[in-house]
Amino acid sequence: MVGSVHVIGRENNVPGPRILVSNHARVSDPFLLPFVLGTYRGLTQIESFTIPFFGWLLARSGQIPITPGRGRQAMARAAEQLTKGRTILIYPEGRLSHGAEMIRAKTGMARLAYQSGAPILPVAVHVPAEHCRTVLGRMYGRPTVGVWQVGGPAWIAIGQAWRPFADRGSVSAADLRRVTDEAMTRVRLLLDQARAAAG
């Protein structure tokens, strides 16, 4: 489904445990990222694990389900994976933007970075609109909509790893909000780079 992949900032893809933070515009993006960034454990809504075969793949590959009202348990599992040297992918927007403006992020990613000490690695994915298709369906017992890449190139921009809580003894809710907003600003700047490279 992807014609080519162009990577900006490949030298920033440092090894070791890290928290990948990305924009969430298309359903297809999480399938593209492992080819550039390596394997990871992604936080995924629990409903996705009920999809025939796809849900089985998610479970078999160690992806982490997020159940409404039980976000702390999912974050605890993510922290455990980081201690084992694995990479975690989080979409802080919490839902698809379908290619529109990015949605204000939630602060769970910043809390995970504080508790684990793992660096945040900002990433942005851009696919030109002419290579995106909106798919309407019915899943989870309700109508669904998702944007998928169909052919054409994709651009992935990788920023520098960042440890916002280095040497911090404690943090406040305001600190978590500030770091979250800064992380998403970095993602937005990377997205601008990717769009500019795509012309």
Q: What is the pLDDT of residues 96-152, one digit of tens each?
A: 787 778 889 999 999 999 999 999 999 999 999 999 898 887 766 777 788 888 999
Q: What is the CATH number of the domain that holds 57?
A: 3.40.1130.10
Q: Which two tokens stand for residue 2?
A: 């992807």
Report pTM: 0.88
Beta carbons of 132 and 96 less than 8 angstroms apart: no
* pLDDT values of the chain reduced to their tens digit, one per residue, 199 residues: 778 999 999 999 988 899 999 999 888 888 888 889 999 998 887 777 777 666 777 777 778 878 777 778 888 999 999 999 999 999 998 887 877 788 899 999 999 999 999 999 999 999 999 998 988 877 667 777 888 889 999 999 999 999 999 877 889 999 999 999 999 999 999 999 999 999 8
d(CA 105, CA 45): 16
Give residue 86's domain range.
4-198
Domain count, the chain: 1
Neighbours of 108 (CB within 10 A): 20
